[in-house]
Amino acid sequence: DGAYTEVIHTNGGDSGWLNPLGRVDFYPNGGRRMPGCSTSLCHHNRAYNYMAESLRTGGFTGRRCENLNNALNGNCNAGGTLRMGGANPKTGSGLYHLVTNNRQPFSRG
């Protein structure tokens, strides 16, 4: 119904969009280039890899960011965390940064 839209940015500025689009926008590793990838397609596809893993493991923990620049650079100390992905309904909002592993399992918690 669109009441809660979660966006995972993994290839912003290339095959993906960098600006916030949802109620919650996650920027893993800064949202542009993903560790373990060497092609644009790999970076882009990590979004669904992360979502699929989150459904099996319960998600990834993102730290809330004050603005887009902080989300891109990982300077996020706005207070609060939110789980990216997973199957549980959510009510959060804002921009979040998180760091992933370069291969499966991608989640660090």
Report yes or no: 9 and 26 within 8 Å, Cβ to Cβ. yes
State residue 90's pLDDT score: 78
SS3 53: helix
Q: How far apart are CA 20 and CA 24, in angstroms?
A: 8
State residue 87's pLDDT score: 75
State residue 56's pLDDT score: 92
Query: What's the pLDDT tens digit per position in 64-78?
Result: 999 999 999 999 998
Q: Residue 66: exposed, middle, or buried by beta-carbon count in 10 A (0-12, 13-18, 19+)?
A: middle
Report yes or no: 83 and 58 within 8 Å, Cβ to Cβ. yes
State residue 55's pLDDT score: 93
State residue 47's pLDDT score: 97
Report yes or no: 50 and 28 within 8 Å, Cβ to Cβ. yes
> What residues in the chain have per-residue pLDDT under 70?
1
Place of tokens 């300077």: 75
| Count of all residues that appear for the chain in the document | 109
Give kind and range of the element (H or E) at residue 46.
helix 40-57
State residue 64's pLDDT score: 98
State residue 45's pLDDT score: 97
